[in-house]
Amino acid sequence: MWELKRLRNDTIAGRAPCRHQDPRQRRPEMSAQRQLHRLALAAILYLLLYSLAAYLDLWTTMVALSRPGVHEGNSVVRKGQAYLPTRALIVNLAGAVIMTACVTFSANHAERVETRWLHRPILSFGKIYLNPWSAGAIGVSPLHMLSMAMAFLAMRVVAAGNNMLIYF
């Protein structure tokens, strides 16, 4: 009954029912080698993009700080009025590790994301949970982890743009 109602709602909404919506149909198991390749590709691609965004942010910070009267507002990477690039690099490396772990988690558990959240990803952010590995959250948490990692990249590019606005 519930399955019929869901299929009817998907047809009404103009979406073709996905073959993964039927709980009796299991997704094909991915081989361990293919899974490892997918995880490595996701991690390498994200690290490449993160490195580019971090470089843009750090470089434009140095450019903006070359203007007289400009100082770094982030108290973690400054001592008094002095900017500490080594500390900024360490913070960026820690961020790279954490965000790459989020992307790797997302790629590793992508098969477990429930189809309803793929059809309506914005609505998935209404689901609140504390443990992303719990049985109740694993159907949506990979989507959230990937979204957070992608938003972090976008935030770094916005920060670089802000630094250039300060310079000009």
What does the DSSP assignment read for 122-161? Answer: TGGGG---S-TTSTTTTTTHHHHHHHHHHHHHHHHHHHHH
Q: What is the predicted pLDDT for the residue at 15?
A: 53
Are the CB atoms for 46 and 149 separated by under 8 Å?
yes
Domain range summary for the chain, segments of one domain joined by +: 34-167
Are the CB atoms for 26 and 20 separated by under 8 Å?
no
What does the DSSP assignment read for 42-59? Answer: HHHHHHHHHHHHHHHHHH
29-74 pLDDT, tens digit per residue, is: 788 899 999 999 999 999 999 999 999 999 999 999 999 999 999 8
Q: At what angle do helices 85-108 and 32-65 cross, to 10 degrees?
A: 150
Q: What is the predicted pLDDT for the residue at 123?
A: 95
List the Cα angle 107/97/136 in 5-degree steps: 45
Q: What is the reported pTM?
A: 0.80
Amino acid at 120: R
- Mean pLDDT in runs of 10 for the chain (168 residues)? 49 50 56 93 98 97 94 90 93 98 96 93 95 95 97 97 96
Amino acid at 71: H
Q: What is the predicted pLDDT for the residue at 29?
A: 72
Q: What is the predicted pLDDT for the residue at 103?
A: 98
